[in-house]
Amino acid sequence: MQAVAIENGAVGARVKALRDSMGLSLRDLAERSGVSAPMLSQVERGETSPTLAVAGRIASGLDLTLSQLLRLDEAEHVIVVRDGEGRTRVRSGHRFEELTPPLPGQRADVSRHRLDPGAATGGPSDPPLHEPGARETALVLSGELTLVVDGDDRGLAAGDTVTFDADLPHHFENRGAEPAEFVAVVAAGLRRS
């Protein structure tokens, strides 16, 4: 029985982009997938099309299913989330709206937060909510916030941006008298450099 090859030239570019976004070398992906580095290089350059079995192993090495790697389960390539249509939760003076649609293989999430005076996104004893290697970047839209990362306080004002290792215990507090708003982007599973 002959192996079936995937005839999609975009697969190689997608594999390279995903590998780069995860901070993996060809050798790293080879170890994770069981596919040789030379074969991965040929796939990425579009010199060869992987069989379904090889593509499945590459997908596994990228923490994806084969369908996610080949984008078989994506109905649309552009998804608009209108103002107020994100998934919203409210807890103790903290309004949290997820703005990123739940897509397979999503490597970053965007959310909008509003903290009432005296409110916080969590507490000092809460465990980290993000996977190892995750990074978070937050932009303060209005008000003043305090970011507490691993017990260290950082004051932030409107217009300030902060990036930190999100796998450490952290939370935002509004110690001011006015509501504060910020947008956060969490990129999952990045390696520390």
Whether residues 93 and 132 share a domain: the answer is yes
Total number of domains in the chain: 2
**Rounded CA separation 6/13 (Å):** 14
Whether residues 98 and 160 share a domain: the answer is yes
pLDDT at 38: 93
Is residue 76 included in any domain, yes or no? no
Residue 45, token pair as written in the block: 């350059």
What angle do the packed helices 37-44 and 52-61 form, to 10 degrees?
100
Q: Residue 112's domain spans which residues?
A: 87-187
Whether residues 128 and 181 share a domain: the answer is yes
Whether residues 139 and 179 share a domain: the answer is yes
The neighbour count for residue 177, using CB atoms within 10 Å, is: 9
Residue 139 phi/psi, 5-degree rounding, is -115, 120
Residue 31 β-bridge partners: none
Residue 176 phi/psi, 5-degree rounding, is -90, -175
Locus of tokens 């691993």: 150
Is residue 147 included in any domain, yes or no? yes
Last residue of one domain, picked from the residues 70, 102, 117: 70
Residue 160, token pair as written in the block: 């300030």
Pick from 186, 163, 188, 190: which is nearest to 112 by CA? Answer: 186
pLDDT in tens, 144-162: 999 999 889 999 999 999 9
Is residue 62 included in any domain, yes or no? yes
For the chain, give the percent of residues with pLDDT over 90.
Answer: 41
pLDDT at 143: 97
pTM across the whole model: 0.60
Instruction: Assign residue 175 the CATH number of its domain.
Output: 2.60.120.10
Confidence of residue 75 (pLDDT cuts 50, 70, 90): low
Is residue 193 included in any domain, yes or no? no
Instruction: Assign residue 36 the CATH number of its domain.
Output: 1.10.260.40
Please, what is the average pLDDT of the chain? 83
Is residue 58 included in any domain, yes or no? yes
| Average pLDDT value for residue range 16-27 | 84
Pick from 136, 74, 137: which is nearest to 105 by CA? Answer: 74
Whether residues 103 and 175 share a domain: the answer is yes
**Contact in structure between 181 and 143 (CB atoms under 8 Å):** yes
Is residue 82 included in any domain, yes or no? no
